[in-house]
Structure 1
Amino acid sequence: MSAPAPTEPAAPRGTAGTDAAPPGPGAPLGAAQERRRPWLVAAVALAVIAAVLVSVARGLYRDGPLEPDAPTGQGAKAVVQVLGDLGVEVETRRHTADAAEDLRAGGTVLLTAPKRLSGEQLTMLAEAREEGGGRLIVLRPDFVALSYLASGIIPTGALREQTRVEAGAACGDLSHGARVLEVPDAEDALDGPASLYTATDAGASTCFEAEGGALVAESDGVLVLGSPDLLTNDGVGRADNSALALNALSASEELTWYVPSATDPQGTSSPSLVDHLPGWIGPVAAWLVLAAALALIALGRRPGPVVVEPLPVTVRPQELVLGRARLLQQ
């Protein structure tokens, strides 16, 4: 009698009694995808945040104070549009050299923010106006700016309450067709309370007198307006503000609208670069730091929960024999 043929070890079976399928190629691919997923999510999130920040920055820059295309209350789109209807070509400048070149050519330049300019920039504008005989309109200059641009005028007061100021009989052409001007109180004003000025030279003149000085002054081709709210979308419709704004700015067929910019290469001296930065830089920087922190937290998370396994592990001899047999079978 022959011996029975040896039988092969049975293949391992699953828990449900079916043959256990070998791990397919999809398992490592799925693990790789799981590892890449946090990076993809973080990249998409950062791209979306960057796009939103760029859009917000552009919108804030366009809608800034006294921006000629800004439809907001602090913008000046209304005045610029009416000037265009009157045949005045308005050109926006953001660098001192460009505005000085227009003054040197005999043009009219509106300086919207004289306090943001350094002494070097103010000197450049003053020299260009003297050389070319251009006309300079300045909004609410302080003592320092006037010392460069119009030394015959000094600030002597302020209007902190909402005030209506009438033109006197001696104003003449300096009233620019306006009879009453109205300025808001300090809390609602664009750049603080309206400033009042006094003429110190015989060649200087003032108009719209109030207690402490005048709201409008002129000296040697430099027109000083004590409040930027006379030109804003919110303020130009009050009293006769529109008459003053339009008549003063439409004296020539071309007008340079000078809005100082932090990118001006001439603006490297006092005030510092921080003073030139727009107001939205701080919130945007804080938001970027927060977004970076959230991205680092997302990238630092593990693909799954931590598995706790007690060590050392005791392996029974029977399991070791079966494991070796299965390896030999494969």
Structure 2
Amino acid sequence: MSAGGLLAPAPTSGPAAGAAGSSQGGAEQPPPRNGLLVAVLVLALLATVMVSVLRGSYRDGPLEPDAPSPQGSLAAVRVLEDLGTEVTPQRRTADAAETLRAGGTVLVTAPNLLGAAQVDLLRTAREEGGGRLVLLQPDFVTATAFAPGVRPAGTTDEPTLLRAGAGCGPAAFGARSLQLRPVAEVSGHDTYYTVPDGAAGCFDHGDGSAVVVADGVVVLGSASLLTNDRIGTLDAPALALNSLADPQGLGWYIPSAGDPMSSLGPTLLDRIPGWAAPLALWLLVVTALVLLAVSRRHGPVVVEPLPVSVRAHELTIGRGRLMHRAHARDSAARALRSAASTRLAHRLGIRRETRRDALVDALAPHTELDAAQLHRLLGPTPVADDRELVRLAHDLDRLEKEIS
């Protein structure tokens, strides 16, 4: 085919011509310019899917048994399983009660979320089966319900180094020293409990102990003993593992709103999707910027005359009524004396800024009042009641008439 054939379309038709036309069109098309953008979007999509899949393989949250995050407890669970303790995550009170009836151990990670019916069921199951119940930082109501006499004795939000005393006994669980650090994602503080008669306590701080053992119930006062971030400090692993290890199995009970016996139904905030909070924050910032831009002044403030005029005597009467309502006798007397002094100074031909002594000296030759009386009349003499205020007004008026 000649060069002219390339510039003008050939009149031929058929499959051969169509194939030739396709080949020529493909050779003439420029390479796509957005290939890099498409590749970046595809990689970002794949990364998002991979993160979602990885995060979906475990449930992240405070003291979740399969969460590798700092607030999770995967490390403690793995060590317990290596020691022969089968750890079963539980989210229903009935499952935890069944473990207690079978003589096993149940850890309650959030005992403060238990309702009255849940507490009664777990307490009855422990008494029937003789299992061991481990409570992590229970409040006053839950602690006294499971272990009478054990109640919070104090809290701290600072890192604390505790050592086992000579009288710890079984409450030490093989640990000699603990470095407790509050976990903000769980509670934000550590709790210490009283030790009643017949119970054993260890790692004392102030009037309480961080670990209390009372009649098959173990109370742990710090969540840092079980989190991935803090379990490796000092003897925390020994205490956590010895208090939870059980050949018959460990029920890792996490109270949740999905439990049929739970008294914590999902609230409106629980139903809001996770992306709503960033969106609300973004809208708040945009609204603030818009209001800031709209509220900016575009010029100087324009002073406009008032549309009405008020007579002087009306303003005087209104001001007098306000002072009367507020019982501001001294303010009213000060205003009367100031106005009278200004008028008297003008009539005598002296400056307004003249001191009161000079005004009194100028008034003395023209009035029957002596200097002391003039000072008392024009000076800051307190006014006791309305009668004295009226008398002051009359005396000032008489003085002005006399000078006139």
TM-score by length of 1: 0.65
Pick aligned residue for 2:267 from 260, 267, 274: 274
Count of residues in Structure 1 that have an aligned counterpart in Structure 2: 234
Aligned counterpart, 2:229: 234
Aligned counterpart, 1:177: 174
Aligned counterpart, 1:320: none
Report the secondary structure of 2:261's partner residue.
coil
1:59-114: CA deviation from partner (whole Å, max 9, x where unpaired): 49711111111000000000111111111111111000110111111111011110
Aligned counterpart, 2:260: 265
Judge conservation of contact 2:58–2:67 (CA < 8 Å) in 1.
Answer: no
Pick aligned residue for 1:192 from 183, 188, 194: 188
Pick aligned residue for 1:209 from 204, 208, 230: 204
Residue type of the partner of 2:266?
L
- State how far apart, in whole Å, the 1-side matches of 2:212 and 2:57 are: 32
Residue type of the partner of 1:258?
Y
Aligned counterpart, 2:65: 68
Gap change, CA 1:219 and 1:85, over 3 Å in 2: same
Report the secondary structure of 1:237's partner residue.
coil
1:117-155: CA deviation from partner (whole Å, max 9, x where unpaired): 111111111111011111000100000111221122111
Report the secondary structure of 2:194's partner residue.
strand
Judge conservation of contact 1:189–1:229 (CA < 8 Å) in 2.
Answer: no
- Alpha-carbon deviation of 1:189? 6.3
Q: Which 5+ residue runs of structure 1 have no aligned equivalent?
A: 1-47, 294-330
1:203-225: CA deviation from partner (whole Å, max 9, x where unpaired): 22211111131000011100000
Aligned counterpart, 1:321: none
TM-score by length of 2: 0.53
Q: Which 5+ residue runs of structure 2 have no aligned equivalent?
A: 1-44, 284-404
Q: Percent identity?
A: 51
Runs of 4+ in 1 over 4 A off after TM superposition: 54-61, 287-290
Aligned counterpart, 1:250: 245
RMSD: 2.8
Report the secondary structure of 2:178's partner residue.
strand
Aligned counterpart, 1:41: none
- State how far apart, in whole Å, the 1-side matches of 2:164 and 2:53 are: 42
Residue type of the partner of 2:192?
L
Judge conservation of contact 1:165–1:209 (CA < 8 Å) in 2.
Answer: yes
Report the secondary structure of 1:65's partner residue.
coil
1:301-321: CA deviation from partner (whole Å, max 9, x where unpaired): xxxxxxxxxxxxxxxxxxxxx
Aligned counterpart, 1:284: 274
Aligned counterpart, 2:367: none
2:83 maps to 1:90: no
Aligned counterpart, 1:136: 133
Residue type of the partner of 1:123?
D
Gap change, CA 1:58 and 1:178, over 3 Å in 2: same
- Alpha-carbon deviation of 1:167? 0.5
Gap change, CA 1:60 and 1:192, over 3 Å in 2: farther
- State how far apart, in whole Å, the 2-side matches of 1:144 and 1:154 are: 8
Report the secondary structure of 2:203's partner residue.
strand
- State how far apart, in whole Å, the 1-side matches of 2:194 and 2:162 are: 15
- Bigger Rg over Cα: 2
2:144 maps to 1:147: yes
- Higher share of residues assigned strand: 1
- State how far apart, in whole Å, the 2-side matches of 1:239 and 1:287 are: 39
Pick aligned residue for 1:119 from 116, 122, 135: 116
Judge conservation of contact 1:141–1:224 (CA < 8 Å) in 2.
Answer: yes
- Alpha-carbon deviation of 1:274? 2.8
- State how far apart, in whole Å, the 2-side matches of 1:170 and 1:138 are: 22
Judge conservation of contact 1:163–1:185 (CA < 8 Å) in 2.
Answer: no
Aligned counterpart, 1:44: none
Which of 1 and 2 has higher RCO (CA within 8 Å, sep 6+)? Answer: 1
